[in-house]
Chain A
Amino acid sequence: MLVAILAHFALAAVLPLVARRYGRAAFVVGALAPAATLVYALARGGEAVSGAPPLETLAWAPVIGLEFTARFDELALLLILLVSGIGAVVLCYYSRYAKPDDHRTAARDSALLVTFAGAMLGLVLADDVISLYLFWELTTVCSFLLVGGDGVAKRLRTSATQALLVTTLGGLAMLLGLILLGTAAGTMRISEILADPPSGGIVTAALLLVLLGALTKSAQVPFHPWLPSAMVAPTPVSAYLHAAAMVKAGVYLVARFSPAFADHPAWWIPIVVCGLWTMLLGGFRALRQYDLKTLLAYGTISQLGFLMVMLGAGTWMSALAAGTLILAHGLFKSALFLTVGIIDKRAGTRDIRELSGLGRQWRGLTTLATFALMSMAGLPPLLGFIGKEVALEALFEGGTVDRLIGVGVAVGSVLTVVYSLRFLRGAFGTKPDMAPSAPVPCGRVMTGMVAVPSLAGLVLALAPSVIEPVETGYADRYGKDPGYHLALWHGITPALMISVGIIAAGVAVHRYAGVQRLGGYVPGPLRAQSWYGRSVEGLESLARGVTGRLQVGSLPVYLGVILTTLVVVPGAGLFSGDIDFGELRLFDNWLQVPLALLVLVAAATSLLARRRLTAVLLAGVVGYGIGAWFVVDGGADLALAQFLVETLTLVVFVFVIRRFPPRFIENKAYVGGRWVKAVIAGVAGTFVAVLAVLYSGYRGGIPEASRQYIERAEDETGATNVVNAIIVDFRAFDTIGEITVLAVAATGVASLILARSRRRNGTVGRPEPTEQDATDDTGTTETPEVRS
């Protein structure tokens, strides 16, 4: 099966080339991949239902748990029927739906749809959580690009983005949940996790996270608004992604994990509650739609809720119902979407207020659509009816909770009947006060493609034994087979009576004119769409608030934060253990005392200086003071170097400072800022000094390296000066580096000066960059030249 997945991607890669040459025929070429997959899957169907499903693996990066595993079982087979079957139908349909001369769109959409088909195939076959997530996100990305299309219209962009963000939110939550679940179970293989489900607090959290993925992907309340928004996509895309395949991914995920977790309250309660709510809300909202496609979108939301409820109920019968309904829904809903595509394309509108008399013009299409609508409404002799019978049987034969759920499902089903009738009348009916739409052909190929899923719903209902092994095979994971068989006629059962009641109620409500005004109304604040808008707005303003407060653009603040962190973090580390200062000697030589005082006072005063020259001179005092210290400690050569550098720096400073204003520019906004800076600098300096004193107490004697430098300098390098030996011999590599830095600094200064003169000679007149720009009240104008 892995080969089939790869074949999809390989084919998708060459489709743009095909489209460039042959235009929309690329869609038909693309259909080969799913069609072949369907044939292959059916041929191997026996293995899938055998109880020992074939397993294939392909290593990617096994060390970090990345591998592809495909497990071809009944549930996978059931979904492949939809994914590949409907996929092939939709691609063929699209080859007539697309504009003949728009090769660009054909290239993009054909490649994306086939990629999507491959990803869906991978998704339903995946037997390890990482492959599952991988294909899951791949479908999301394909959906984003397919809905966005060329991205020129704003509506396309916002809808695509909403679908992406909502489903990725869920997808990432699911990923985290799956990883936690896998870690708790000690395996990332789904079949192994399900065979021996883990338990514990972390598993509860993990299940909720996984559910978040399922609920967002399958457009369950309160995440559903992305689905009606996504109806801006081309109709074949909607038929495939938003009816048959992608939105089923969430249902599939629940179907996959329910056998192991159906009894876990954190699993079934959210599923049933959200599912019922979704079923009712979706049906209710569909009642007021004028756009046929949006009507179907709400219908899909409602039906997906129904499927969730049946899976959450978690019994053999409910699982059988869910399996049957997954297939039935995929068939009738794709047929209806494709019908809307024909209406939209040929009649020029899909608004039911502008359509009239199409039923008489297009008898064939009307018949096919009616079959699909009957299946949706749960009328015999169609697959939808069989599924709904099982569902009602499952719920009303159960306990109190199941019966309560059953009542909800029955109400939802009444709404389904009502909006099915609304579709039938709205799309094909002849309205007395309207002129019939202009006669146009409905297209033989496109109608033929509607016929495939529509008639499949009829044929499978007449011969349900064809699919029964798949459906019961899946249901068997929930318990013992009670000996129930899929059939159109079970005798006069309570379920049948309820079905009749539902249909009668639906027809009655449809006749009641007030439903137009009442139906579908939701008060503004309760609309989920506005919550999406508010969340995005909230995120943006949070980001602006946090960033605006932190990223203030002031260098002194940044430096202050760095120094504060320097004191706080290692300081906390230091005091986490015992510290021992050992024996402290205050000074070795009494001369050190006045020198230390001099350096300290000069350093402190330089912070408070208001004139630049004063600050520079005081900094010089610090340097000379330290040089004097070296003399006292016996490092005469070191002192010499220090005095030289100090003098040179001072001279350079004096030259540079002549071009500056004599005083630092006082920033009035920072009254007291000077003191804050002084305190931070003082504390940081003291902290480092304390560390130095403390650390030196832990060293036993002269380090090995120092000892060896002294011992070996003369013998090995011939130098009598150890420092020279280190610089030019022992550690010459460092010296090469330092020389490089020097050369770099010189080049940098030269390049700055050259750039300035070049600009002066330039023709474009603009203000000279002034030195003041670079100076603020930090008083630092250090450039590389100073460092060298």
Chain B
Amino acid sequence: MTFLVALPVLLPLLAAALSLVAGRSPRVQRLLGVVVLTAIAAVAATLLLRADSEGPVVLRLGGYGPPFGITLVADRLASLLLLVSALVTLAVLVFSIGQRITDFGRRTASTAFHPMYLVLCAGVSMAYLTGDLFNLFVAFEIMLGASYVLITRRVTAERVRPSMTYVIVSLTSSLLFITMIALVYTATGTVNLAAMPEKIAALPAGVQSSLALFIVIVFGIKAALVPLHFWLPDSYPTAPAPITAVFAALLTKVGVYALIRTQTLVFVHEDSWAVLLGVALVTMIIGALGAIAQNDLNRMLSFLLVSHIGYMLFGLALFTVIGLAGVILYVVHHITVQGALFLVSGLVTRHTGTVSLQAMSGVARAYPLVAVLFAIPAMSLAGIPPFSGFVAKMALLQAGAEVGTAMAIAVTAGAVVTSLLTLYAVTKIWVGAFWGPPTEPLVDDDPNDDVTVGTGSTSSAMVGATGGLVLISVLIAVFAGPLADMSERAANDLLHDEGYRSAVLGEGNG
């Protein structure tokens, strides 16, 4: 059974290689992608059931155990996120295939897209599953490498600069990441996450907190915490809708996951974490204000993404079972909802020919289905009951009130204010884009790039993929009970990590 843990990484890598070879045969490429991502989802579901009933599934690669071999670990948290991510990447892939077929016909191959997309998925899976800090770095490199290609693919003159912002900031974060690993290895002599806490605990307090905060900054750049977030709203909105959707849904969340994993497993909770609460508050508010100031639909969604990363940091900084359960629920909810919103934005742009909220109007009347597909995730994002965002937010707010310190209450209040600001922003989108008299779509100003806008043509695959994501977000709310139970167990694992550590370190040095 343990070999299953490697499949979510190896399958897409293998498929990527095949897909690259089959570059001239679009049907094979499409089939490979869909089959492999479906398989990952199935594996992830199996791992989740197994991890939930029997504890973490551990695979020692090459039979080499810690401290010098690499281990892959599928515990509840990792497999849950893996499952959701696989479903989202699948939906985005279907959307993307639908879009290309609509624009260029069935026979046009896209040599680079499919292999790179699969590599990206492999990187994401690896980041979730690895139990090794250096391997996590490799996972990030795979993921980022593929993302550089995806964001600069068919780049136009206007898109060069934002893409370079993305690439350079990401490279900086990679540089800091490898520096961080060097520092960690210097101080502890291990890169195995499960072996680290024991070594870290022996260090003086100042060293511990400087190391912990260094790691927060490294992953904070990826997760786009304020003030490390500036690159995100400048670069994401310029990519084609499916690319932005998968970046927004997953890449920042992998950063958040890495934060959760390292801060819970490796470090002990201390008072200096009040800093994290402060960062959470600032992230929520600055992001939401940024969203309100935008007229560009995608830029607004990107700022909202930043804002809601603040919620996840909030729950982590509280460091209680309910708080962490809230974070897990929030991540699961946010992956689906943010992905869905960017896909809807893709549909809207194709119908209106513009991303400017002032220029678009009347989408609800002309395309009622698109309006519904926007309304549900938008309300969910704003935390309007009874959707998934509400469920996750309730857990976080209650956790904040239970902790009850002045700072915790302040951030809880900030979270409520952010909800209102988010609602204001999505209402602006709704009122501006969906209500009002229907207008003629604007003509595509750049027919040569990857996105055909203003044609009004969408295929059932595109709408279906978006609908699929929306449906998942609704199901998250409907099955909030079992999901919350699972999240609570996962949160317990995080706070009492003996299970994880003994599963990884248990049987001696392989």
Residues on A close to B: CB < 8 A?
Answer: 59-66, 130, 133-134, 137-138, 141, 148, 150-152, 154, 156-157, 160-161, 164-165, 168-169, 172-173, 175-176, 179-180, 182-183, 202, 539-540, 542-544, 546-548, 550-553, 555, 557-559, 561-562, 565-566, 569-580, 688, 691-692, 694-696, 698-699, 702-706, 708-709, 729-734, 736-738, 740-741, 743-745, 747-748, 750-752, 754-755, 759, 762, 764, 766-767, 769-770, 773-774, 778, 780, 782-784, 787
Contact = CB atoms under 8 A, between A and B. Distances in A.
Interface of B: 13, 16-17, 20, 61-62, 64, 67-70, 111-112, 115-116, 119, 122, 126, 134-135, 138-139, 141-142, 145-146, 148-149, 152-157, 160-161, 164-165, 167-169, 171-173, 176, 179, 182-183, 185-192, 202-214, 216-217, 221, 227-228, 230-231, 233-234, 272, 275, 286, 289-294, 303, 322, 325-326, 329, 362, 364-365, 379, 384-386, 390-391, 394-395, 397-398, 401-402, 404, 409, 412-413, 416-417, 419-420, 423-424, 427, 431, 434-437, 447-448, 480-481, 483-485, 487-488, 509
24 contacts: A61-B484, A64-B398, A64-B488, A157-B431, A161-B427, A165-B427, A183-B398, A543-B291, A566-B217, A569-B213, A572-B213, A573-B209, A692-B182, A694-B207, A698-B204, A729-B62, A730-B64, A732-B61, A734-B134, A740-B119, A748-B145, A752-B152, A762-B448, A770-B157
Given A577-B204, A744-B149, A751-B154, 5 more contacts: A168-B423, A561-B227, A573-B206, A580-B204, A704-B67
Given A65-B398, A180-B401, A751 B207 contact: no
A743 B116 CA distance: 10
Contacts of A705: 67-68, 189-192
A690 B228 CA distance: 23
B234 A748 contact: no
Contacts of A738: 138, 141
A58 to B, nearest CB: 10
B440 to A, nearest CB: 16
B412 A708 contact: no
Contacts of B292: 539-540, 543
Given A134-B390, A551-B230, A559 B168 contact: yes
Contacts, number: 350
B142 A740 contact: yes
Contacts of A133: 385
Given A151-B436, A175-B416, A65 B293 contact: no
Contacts of B423: 164-165, 168
A745 B207 CA distance: 37
B157 A179 contact: no
A782 B290 contact: no
Contacts of A751: 111-112, 149, 153-154
B70 A731 contact: yes
A566 B294 CA distance: 29
B116 A747 contact: yes
A546 B427 contact: no
Nearest to B431: A157
Contact of A782 (B168, B210, B362): B168
Nearest to A755: B154
6 closest A-B pairs (Cβ-Cβ)?
A: A577-B206, A703-B189, A151-B435, A573-B209, A577-B205, A748-B149
B62 A550 contact: no
Contact of B13 (A152, A736, A759): A736
B391 A699 contact: no
A783 B155 CA distance: 13
Contacts of B434: 151
B274 to A, nearest CB: 12
Contacts of B212: 573
Contact of A558 (B167, B169, B207, B483): B169
Contact of B213 (A161, A546, A573, A778): A573
Contacts of B172: 559, 562
Given A699-B186, A708-B67, A176 B286 contact: no
Contacts of A551: 230, 233-234, 290
B145 to A, nearest CB: 4
B212 to A, nearest CB: 7
A160 B427 CA distance: 10
A175 B145 contact: no
Nearest to A134: B385
Contacts of B119: 740, 744
Nearest to A555: B165
Contact of B394 (A130, A157, A553): A130
Contacts of A176: 397, 412-413, 416
B141 A66 contact: no
B353 to A, nearest CB: 17
A554 to B, nearest CB: 9
Contacts of B185: 703
Contacts of A736: 13
Nearest to B425: A543
Contacts of B202: 698
- Most chain-A Cβ atoms within 10 A of its Cβ — which of B67, B68, B275, B364? B68
Contacts of A571: 210
B147 to A, nearest CB: 9
B372 to A, nearest CB: 11
B395 A64 contact: yes
Contacts of A570: 209-211, 213-214, 217
B138 A62 contact: no
B204 to A, nearest CB: 6
A177 B217 CA distance: 34
A744 B182 CA distance: 25
B285 to A, nearest CB: 9
A566 B221 CA distance: 10
B306 to A, nearest CB: 10
A730 B510 CA distance: 12
